[in-house]
Amino acid sequence: MAAGSVALTGLAACSNGSKDSPGQAASSAPAGPPLAIIAPAADSTGLPVSAEIEAKAEGGELTSVKLVDDKGGEVKGEFRLDKSSWVPSDPLEYKTTYTATVVATGTNGVTSTQTATFTTMASPGKRKGAVLWNGDDVVYGVGMPVIVQFKDNYTIDKDNRAGVEKRLFVKSEPHQKGAWRWVSGAVLEFRPEKYWEPGTKIEVRVGWGGHPLGDGDYGATDITAKYSIDDTAREMIVDNKKKTMVAMENGEEKKTAPVSLGKPSKPSFYGTMVIMEKLRKTVFDSSTYGVPVDSPDGYKTDIEFAQRMTWDGQFIHSAPWSVGDQGKRNVSHGCINVSRPNAEWFFEWANVGDPIQVLNTEEGVTEGNGWTCWNMSWEEFLKGSALPPPTV
């Protein structure tokens, strides 16, 4: 059957094995819905190995796609939720011919079948790598976004972002509507409309292997991860007016501790942030961001129980030297100072991905200085996507 045609099954009503009986009209079996494969085009060549199968069925529903290579091997895949295309589970092979067989079923239960054959491109020379910040088999807090970043500051221009974003897949169980947002041409983040439901199971696929990125560049390889969200919803709320940090667990107050925040010359940022990493022991050195250790604002200090909130170095951490100030005044360089026992308690209690709200300080956290996606409304977040808002 030629690609682009519609498969119809007909059977004439015959008499005596020849002509129709006098007065008897010819009849045929009911036809399936008109079906056409939109992409790839029949006999097309040089396709990227990220190719998807797109088809339309008028008055019916796409029910299956079978994709086989030129050796008869079947490719695994599945429909997108809206059935706009059928997506192979892995990149296709380079310089390989495939045949797609698409089946649609009409409201009368009758099927139509359509086929198309196409050939993929040769392996490209210019491939660009990326990093998925979310790891396999990790338990994260309810505020954990999905973070994807290109290596070596490689950036995607705006004309190519929609196609690239479309190759990013997030599955959640239970299902929660979410969206991607471009923090920059090199970084994307995904979040649901509200915090993840406790206990959610998540699968992420960065389907960029062999996908065109623009200017003759292609994605190096697919990246995948499977992880989960903690069964307990944890959140920290820091109030500069009260000089306290409250641990909230499943919406109820679990613990309150006095804090000292950033002094007026180096205020702690207000806004909603996310715990990015946890360091049992580390060293804070002002010279790493250009302030000499021996200057009035310089320091080099051993730190315990540190939990990062921003890229530029605001942490929750143990600060035994400021216990007398905690709950009373702000003396830090922007970090949230707590006593050693309280720092250890919060360190053991919290997860990477737990949200933390800081209230009533002098300066807001800037976009992208950490995982700041919860610091904006859902409507504002959606504006950063290169695709229309999700409907499924």
Residues forming the active site: 317, 335
Which residues lie closer than 8 Å to 380 by C-beta, 6 or more apart? none
Residues 354 and 235: beta-carbon distance below 8 Å: yes
How many Å apart are CA 325 and CA 329, to the nearest integer? Answer: 5
Closest CA to 342 of 316, 324, 309: 316
Sign of CA dihedral 313, 314, 316, 322: positive
How many Å apart are CA 354 and CA 87, to the nearest integer? Answer: 33
Beta strands 35-39; 54-57: pairing state? antiparallel
How many Å apart are CA 169 and CA 148, to the nearest integer? Answer: 12
Residues 151 and 128: beta-carbon distance below 8 Å: yes
How many Å apart are CA 275 and CA 37, to the nearest integer? Answer: 47
What would the 3-class secondary structure string for 69-95 be? Answer: ECCCCEECEEECCCCCCEEECCCCCCC
How many Å apart are CA 40 and CA 219, to the nearest integer? Answer: 20
How many Å apart are CA 148 and CA 161, to the nearest integer? Answer: 13
Which residue shows structure tokens 């859902």?
378
By the 10 Å C-beta count (0-12 exposed, 13-18 middle, 19+ buried), 253 is classed as exposed
Strand partners, 203: 171, 226
Per DSSP, which regions of 14-76 are E strands?
Answer: 35-39, 44-47, 54-57, 60-69, 74-75
Which residue shows structure tokens 């209690």?
349
